[in-house]
Amino acid sequence: MLQYNIIVAGNPMNNMFPNFKPVTFQGPSGTGSTVPTNEFYNSYEEGDLRAVNQEGFFYTSYYTNGSGEPFDLGAPYIFKHFNQRALGSEGNPGNRANNLNVPLIRFAEVLLIYAEAQNEAGGPNALAYEGLKRIRDRAQLETPPLAEFTTESFREAVWRERWHELAYEQITWFDMLRLRKVYNEITNGFDKFVGHENLSSNQTLQERHYLMPFPLPETQNNPNLTPNNPGY
């Protein structure tokens, strides 16, 4: 994990969960830059603890100014990095010191890395299955028996779990690049990267989105960086 101390530098995750409602001691705030689509929020399986209000990764209601009267937010927002000790909880004003650390890798990801790698090496075995099941057990979900999985179905089951378990941890983008696939929250399957419609922007992903453009200051400093990456 990366340690943060509010005296030195504020936790960057503070920019992920606020909205324009008074959910913290700061009152109405937020940039609105990181919000789940309703389609992704609804793609969590019924009974998934990760989608339970204020217990999992999202919140649909909170307390006025962090600790006052409860109110409905009208939409799901990200609760995964919400530091209640700093920002407030029911009847408990926040201490305003968000020293929450930022995870670099969690045990859940290690389990899913192993499960995916083992499946690609020789199909799902008991240890690969156990890794997947431990994630789903924690989310209070049933997992089909190992015998019901094929290499293909287990592969997508692990991918699907990565999208839901590791959401908002700066991991999903890299999965999209390495797999050339994107989770489709409506079909619960996976689309090819190129041609997938991003529901947040209603824009279709293109070949050029595999890469970023060279920054303008860099191309100004070094003319040899031309031409830019394809499509830019």
Percent of the chain with pLDDT over 70: 98
> Structure tokens of 224?
């040899």
> Structure tokens of 180?
């050339």
pTM of structure:
0.91
Q: Is 157 exposed, middle or buried (0-12, 13-18, 19+ CB in 10 A)?
A: buried
pLDDT on residue 19: 76
Residues 6+ apart with CB under 8 A from 232: 208, 213, 214
Q: What is the mean pLDDT of residues 186-206?
A: 94
Predicted confidence (pLDDT) at residue 20 exceeds the cutoff of 90: no
In three-state secondary structure terms, 54 is coil
Length in residues, the chain: 232
Residues 6+ apart with CB under 8 A from 165: 50, 108, 109, 112, 135, 139
Comparing 10-24, 60-74, 135-149, 200-214, which segment has the lowest mean pLDDT? Answer: 10-24
Give the integer Cα–Cα distance in Å for 214 and 55.
41
Average pLDDT, the chain: 93
Predicted confidence (pLDDT) at residue 199 exceeds the cutoff of 90: no
CB atoms within 10 A of CB 231: 11
Q: Domains of the chain (ranges plus CATH)?
A: 12-87 (no CATH), 105-169 (1.25.40.900), 180-232 (no CATH)
Q: Could you read off the pLDDT of 66-89 as tens digits, one per residue?
A: 999 999 999 999 999 999 999 999
Q: Could you read off the pLDDT of 87-123 as tens digits, one per residue?
A: 999 999 999 988 888 889 999 999 999 999 999 999 9
Contacts 24+ apart (CB under 8 A), 34-38: 34/78, 34/168, 35/75, 35/76, 35/77, 35/78, 36/76, 36/77, 36/78, 36/167, 37/185, 37/199, 37/200, 38/75, 38/76
